[in-house]
Each structure stands twice: as structure tokens, then as C-alpha cells.
Amino acid sequence: MNAVSQPLGASPLPGFGEPKWESQDSDPEFHDREAGSQARKLKVIVIDDEALIADTVAEILNHAGLDATPVSDPAEAIRLAENMQPDVVLSDVIMPGMNGIEAGIKIREMVPRCRIILFSGQAATVDLLEKARKQGHQFDILGKPVKPEQLISVIRAGTRS
């Protein structure tokens, strides 16, 4: 496993220049798009309450050969996940109404193999993650701003096909 665990309370969320994330479901046999032209595209749901961010990130992922769908409402993302059965959900953490951790837990209940990657630029995320971990939920976490190359690498690196 290439991921480096970041203990809670150690330092603020990692920047993308120094990726540190915790993954309970990384799999070295990740989906390699380059392996063949017939390879299935990874299905990704991008959740951010700022629609422009969700749209932009989804566009970047689609351009990289993934099948990404932007959503600005976590409840809508949960409904979509039930039908879409995504490989990955990439979600902002701090959003009005339902946060990304709550959405990730609900999506993982419906799609247990789905990898949940959270991204945030807010310090409040640490407390929310600690609470989720105490309840037995683990998530990958990335800091904002997100560099496209690193994001694509992280999505591909630990996703089961």
C-alpha cells in the first residue's frame, strides 16, 4: 500500500504537493485504463455544493477517460448512486444539510464496494472524520485545492475494477 496514514490531530489536511491519505480499501490490482481499449471506465460521482466545482472536477475526470457525473446535492447523489453503482464517490465534506461523510456512509451502505474519497479545505473536517472513524467508517481524504493529475492518480490507484 502506497498510502501514508495521517493520525488525526497531527496536522491540517494534507496539500496535494504532499499527499497523505488513509485508505482501508486500497487494492494494488487497480483498474488500469491503459491495459486495453475495451477496459470499462471507472464510474465516479463528484459531489460539491458549489455546482461549478462539481462540474469542473467531473469535466477534468471525464477528459482523463473516467465516467464522472457532477452532483451539487448530497441527497441527489445518494439516489444516483443507488442506480449508477459507482466505483468512486468524490465528495466535498462541508456542505449545507448533509455533509460528505454522511453521504459517503449512506452510499457505502448501498454500494459496499464503492470507494469514498473526501476532499476539503476546512479544518472542521478533522472533527467530523474523527467521529466517523469512532463509528467504524474509514475514508480517503484529500486537501483542497486539488491538482487534477494527483486527483486522477489517487482515484485510479486504489480502485477495484
What tens digit of pLDDT does each residue of 4-61 get? 333 343 334 433 333 333 433 444 333 443 444 457 899 999 999 999 999 999 999 9
- Domain holding 153, by residue range, is 40-157
Q: Which three cell numbers stand for residue 104?
A: 459517503
> Residue 55: what residue type?
D
Q: What pLDDT score does 132 carry? A: 74
Q: Is residue 136 part of a domain?
A: yes
In this structure, the number of other CB atoms found within 10 A of the CB of residue 2 comes to 11
Q: Is residue 15 part of a domain?
A: no
Q: Which three cell numbers stand for residue 43?
A: 464510474
Collapsed DSSP state (helix, strand, coil) of residue 48: coil
Q: Is residue 12 part of a domain?
A: no
Quick: pLDDT tens for 80-116: 999 999 999 999 998 999 999 999 999 999 999 999 9
Pairing of strands 67-71, 88-92: unpaired
Is the model more confident about 137 or about 19? 137
Q: Is residue 4 part of a domain?
A: no
Q: Which three cell numbers stand for residue 113?
A: 464496494
CATH code at position 60: 3.40.50.2300
Collapsed DSSP state (helix, strand, coil) of residue 131: helix
Q: Is residue 20 part of a domain?
A: no
Task: Give pTM, 2 decimals.
Answer: 0.68
Angle between helices 74-84 and 100-110 in degrees, nearest 10: 20
Domains in the chain, number: 1
Q: What pLDDT score does 92 carry? A: 92
Q: Is residue 144 part of a domain?
A: yes
Q: Is residue 19 part of a domain?
A: no
Q: Is residue 74 part of a domain?
A: yes
